[in-house]
């Protein structure tokens, strides 16, 4: 990477999906620090040992909030392989009265508004075993977790007051996780969240100007990490974070939850290999992944420019006031360099 660094100077790039500016500055990675690093901290190995007190472990199901559904294990070895349960400390409550469609938003001051905290907040327990990480499962096992997401999103999509479902995973304390046992979450909101709105606006603008869907257009070879029959894994042209990657369906598709059995196995194998690559290259970093899909009930003209994808972000450093204030990120690693490094790691 030293060579790549030396050969490049700063550049600012704007992407065609979020419309966000990012500053690429390899020189930044050489700055000194006299404060203790809060960077890559991997809590997993120590925390991976079976914990007698973990409510997500096999046999402690009664300590969890109610189960929504389970995926049974193929043999009798365990009564379940995946459980989708309610979050015991939900950000939004399924028992709150949903805002009536007309009432919707109650204005408080000019432009401000408030709605009751209605919504769904679920947890997906990815394995009954405390020490198993998602990418320790086989490709089919990872595919089944993704299928469980899709199935639950399908259920939530039926609710007339749910506008969007954010599926996400936190791994490691520095990525926000409070529980070590491998799990992910989803939150169904009664409004379209801010980043979803700005992503749709940006993709719409690109489509109106060029007639193309931004994500169908991403095919540049130098940012490709890996490819399967149905998906591409890339480092995006204007990645906000070092070693951020996106897994994108190669065929235009707006909704993640419409994925079929065939594609889900393919996605499972690609997600697994991308997580293995990150773990190998970056020493098992804390990370988040997020599925970016379309809000429910879009008109067919909007479906032309919305294209779902899965974003994986390793947490390698703490961001500061510049990013917080401006929304513009400083990334010390050029996407072309990150992609090259990730391409070269063998995870077979």
Query: How far apart are alpha carbons 124 and 71 in whole angstroms?
Result: 11
Query: Are 40 and 286 spatial neighbours (Cβ–Cβ below 8 Å)?
Result: yes
Kindly provide the b/e burial profile for residues 85-124, where b requires at least 16 CB atoms within 10 angstroms of the residue's own CB.
Answer: bebeebebebeeebbeeeeeeeeeeeeeeebeebbbbbbb
Residue 63 binding target from its own copies, ligand ADQ, none, CB below 5 to 8 Å by type: ligand ADQ
Residue 323 contacts ligand ADQ per CB under 6 A: yes
Query: How far apart are alpha carbons 197 and 193 in whole angstroms?
Result: 6
Binding mask 30-69 toward its own copies (x if CB under 8 A, else -) reads: xxxxxxxxx--x-x---x---x-xx---------------
Residue 165 contacts ligand ADQ per CB under 6 A: no
Instruction: Rule CB under 8 A: choose which of 262, 280, 327, 344 binds its own copies.
Output: 327
- In this structure, is the dihedral angle defined by the CA atoms of residues 65, 67, 71 and 73, taken in order, positive or negative? positive
Q: Which of 171, 181, 183, 257 is catalytic?
A: 183
- Token output for 291: 């599925």
Instruction: Rule CB under 6 A: choose which of 64, 92, 139, 303 binds ligand ADQ.
Output: 64
| HSE-up of residue 53 (Cα within 13 Å, Cβ side) | 3
Bridge partners of residue 295, in order along the sequence: none
Query: How far apart are alpha carbons 270 and 250 in whole angstroms?
Result: 13
- Return the range that interacts with its own copies (CB under 8 A); candidates 135-143, 252-260, 261-269, 285-293: 285-293
Site for its own copies in 65-124 (CB under 8 A): 88-93, 96, 105, 108-119
Q: Which is nearer to its own copies, 1 or 12 (CB)?
A: 12
- Catalytic annotation present for 307: no
Q: How many residues does the chain have?
A: 348
Q: Which is nearer to its own copies, 92 or 345 (CB)?
A: 92
Site for ligand ADQ in 98-157 (CB under 6 A): 123
Instruction: Rule CB under 8 A: choose which of 50, 262, 318, 344 binds its own copies.
Output: 318
Give the shortest CB-185-to-ligand ADQ separation in angstroms: 6
């Amino acid at each position: 990477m030293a060579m790549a660094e030396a050969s490049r100077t700063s550049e600012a790039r704007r992407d065609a999906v979020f419309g966000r500016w990012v500053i690429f500055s390899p020189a930044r990675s050489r700055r000194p620090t006299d404060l203790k690093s809060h960077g890559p901290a991997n809590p997993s190995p120590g925390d991976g040992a079976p914990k007698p007190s973990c409510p997500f472990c096999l046999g402690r199901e009664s300590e969890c909030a109610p189960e929504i559904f389970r995926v049974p294990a193929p043999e009798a070895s365990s009564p379940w392989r995946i459980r989708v349960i309610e979050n015991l400390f939900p950000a939004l409550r399924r028992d709150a009265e949903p805002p009536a469609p007309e009432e919707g938003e109650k204005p408080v001051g000019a432009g401000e508004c408030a709605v009751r905290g209605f919504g769904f907040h679920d947890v997906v327990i990815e394995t009954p075993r405390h020490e198993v990480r998602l990418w320790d499962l086989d490709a089919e096992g990872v595919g089944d977790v993704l299928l469980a997401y899709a199935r639950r999103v399908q259920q939530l999509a039926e609710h007339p007051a749910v506008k969007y479902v954010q599926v996400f995973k936190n791994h490691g304390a520095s990525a926000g996780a409070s529980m070590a046992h491998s799990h992910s979450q989803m939150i169904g909101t009664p409004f379209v969240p801010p980043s979803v709105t700005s992503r749709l606006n940006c993709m719409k603008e690109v489509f109106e100007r060029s007639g193309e869907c931004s994500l169908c257009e991403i095919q540049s070879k130098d940012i490709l990490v890996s490819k399967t029959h149905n998906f591409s894994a890339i480092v995006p042209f204007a990645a906000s974070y070092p070693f951020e990657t996106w897994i994108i369906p190669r065929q235009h598709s707006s909704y993640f939850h419409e994925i079929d059995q065939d594609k889900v196995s393919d996605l499972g194998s690609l997600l697994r290999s991308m997580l293995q690559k990150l773990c190998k290259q970056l020493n098992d970093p804390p990370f988040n992944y997020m599925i970016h899909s379309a809000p429910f009930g879009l008109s067919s003209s909007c479906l032309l420019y919305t294209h779902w994808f899965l974003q994986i972000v390793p947490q390698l450093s703490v961001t500061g006031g510049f990013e917080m204030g401006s929304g513009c990120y400083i990334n010390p690693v050029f996407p072309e360099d990150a992609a090259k490094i990730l391409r070269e790691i063998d995870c077979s």
